[in-house]
Amino acid sequence: MATKRAINHPPERDANLGETLRRIRKERGLTLIEAGEKSGMPMSTISKIENNKMSLSYDKLVRICNALEIDISQLFSGNPTVEKAPAPVMSGRRSINRRGTGYAINTPNYSHLYPAADLLNKRSVPIIAEIHARSIEEFGELIRHPGEEFAIVLEGAVDLYTDLYAPTRLETGDSIYFDSGMAHAYIAVGESPCRVLSVCTSDEPHAEQMYATFGDGQEAAPHAAPAGPSLSAVPSPSAPAKKTPKKK
């Protein structure tokens, strides 16, 4: 049986998550009940997150950040008052992440690594995910979030479940683009490690807030990222073979 290679991060980052959320909520003048109403989540869920008794999945993070009216990068930094970057129009901005670096978050179903977490006002959010759940029963309730999502399998194979279509098997190198407003879940196939690169987009005013958990505002320390095919080396499963024209 293959050993699962999770994306690791220091435990104190999760401990800082609840403190950061509670502080920002209070700075916004919101009670637990009001935060629950604005985010569409039960007050008990907000309380568990603030007390570090529950990890934030992607869709829960979307709701909370929308309720607090902040970007995900502001949560990473722990500073909700940081001035937003100007809209990315011919700004020349960029963010470089070396192998294995980024902002790392573990949840029961996924371990997420967020590159470019330092950029505000992104129109798309890249996520490298290690898939843990091996069955839809283990995953639990499917998730949904506003916008669209592109995913390509970097390693292993996944079954993508949605509430509108039959499960779709994606092997290494396969990709999919879909409406992420559909409830969905990535399920690892077999016992081998499984990694997916997904890119999420949204028209929401705080698009980049949507995706993971946070801490003390520093980059996650580099970890031993699983070896996998580079994107340039991944063949396109649907690309037709080029035909050599016949000489007349």
- C-alpha to C-alpha distance for 195 and 208, rounded to whole angstroms: 21
In a domain? residue 24: yes
- Whether 152 shows a pLDDT value over 90: the answer reads yes
Q: What pLDDT score was predicted for residue 138?
A: 96
User: Which alpha helices (DSSP H) does the chain contain, by range?
Assistant: 11-27, 32-39, 43-50, 58-68, 72-77, 136-139
Arithmetic mean of pLDDT, 194-210: 72
pTM: 0.57
- Whether 34 shows a pLDDT value over 80: the answer reads yes
In a domain? residue 240: no
Q: What pLDDT score was predicted for residue 149?
A: 96
pLDDT tens track for 19-31: 888 888 888 899 9
- Whether 61 shows a pLDDT value over 90: the answer reads no
- Whether 41 shows a pLDDT value over 60: the answer reads yes
Arithmetic mean of pLDDT, 177-183: 95
Give residue 146's domain range: 11-83+102-218
107: domain CATH number is 2.60.120.10
In a domain? residue 246: no
- C-alpha to C-alpha distance for 114 and 76, rounded to whole angstroms: 10
**For residues 222 and 101, is the Cβ–Cβ distance under 8 A?**
yes
Q: Looking at the 3D structure of the chain, how many domains does it have?
A: 1
**For residues 147 and 202, is the Cβ–Cβ distance under 8 A?**
yes
